[in-house]
């Protein structure tokens, strides 16, 4: 069971990194408004350049 002594701290470390990432998202304001972004994704993107006909050659 000696592997446990390496794997367990490693697992906790990875968990800790995930928590740190979560805290970063909260601090940077990504979770401040959870109502509007799900609606915003429904918008059509404005065409970036005029659509040109692809002529058949």
Partner 1 sequence: MTAVLREAELAAPVPCAHCQLPVPVGRLTGGATAYCCSGCEIVASAITANGLSEFYALRDTAAPATSTGRAYTELDDPAFQRVHVQLAADGTARAALYLEDLRCTACVWLVESAPRCVPGTVEVRVDLGRSRADVTWDPGATQLSSIARFLDAVGHVPHPYRGLDRDRARRREDRALLTKLGVAGAAMGNLMLLAIALYAGLFGGMARADATFFRWASMLVAVPALGFAATPMFRTAIGALRARRLHLDLPLSIGIAAGLGWGALNVLRGAGEIYFDSLAMLVFLLLVARWVVLRHQRRASTGAELLLALTPSRARRVDGEAIVEVPIEAIVPGDVVNVLVGDVIPVDGMIVEGRSALDVGLLTGESRPVEVSAGEVVNAGTANLAGPLLVRATAVGETTRVGRLVASIEALSARKAPIERLVDRIAGRFVKVVTLAAFVTFVAWTAAVSLGVGAENAMALLIVTCPCALALATPLAVTVALGRAARRGVLIKGADALERLATPGTMFVDKTGTLTAGKLAVVSWRGDLDAAALAVAVEAGSNHPIARALRDHATTPLVATAIEEDLGRGIAGVVEGRQVLVGAPPWVRARTSPHPVIEGWIAELAERGETPIVIAVDQRPVAVVGLSDPIRDDARAALDRLAAAGWRIEILSGDDPRVARRVGAALGIPEERCHGGATPEAKAARVTAARVCGPVVMVGDGVNDAAAMAGATAGIAVAGSAEIAIEVADVYLRSPAIQDIAATVDGARATLATIRRNLRLSLVYNLTAGTLAVAGVIHPLIAALVMPLSSLTVLASSLRSRAFQERS
Round to whole Å and give the CA distance between 19 and 15: 6
Q: Does 10 bind partner 1 (CB under 8 A)?
A: no
Round to whole Å and give the CA distance between 26 and 46: 30
Q: What is the CA radius of gyration of the chain?
A: 23
Binder of partner 1 out of 3, 6, 40, 56 (CB under 8 A):
40
Round to whole Å and give the CA distance between 10 and 7: 5
Binder of partner 1 out of 6, 10, 39, 53 (CB under 8 A):
39
- Residues engaged in binding partner 1 (CB under 8 A): 1, 4-5, 8-9, 11-12, 15-16, 18-19, 22-23, 26-27, 29, 31-33, 35-36, 39-40, 42-44, 46
């Amino acid at each position: 069971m000696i592997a446990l002594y390496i794997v367990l701290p490693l697992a906790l470390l990875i968990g800790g990194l995930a928590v740190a990432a979560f805290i970063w998202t909260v601090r940077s304001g990504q979770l401040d408004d959870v109502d509007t972004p799900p609606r915003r994704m429904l918008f059509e993107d404005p065409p970036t350049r005029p659509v040109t006909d692809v002529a058949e050659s």
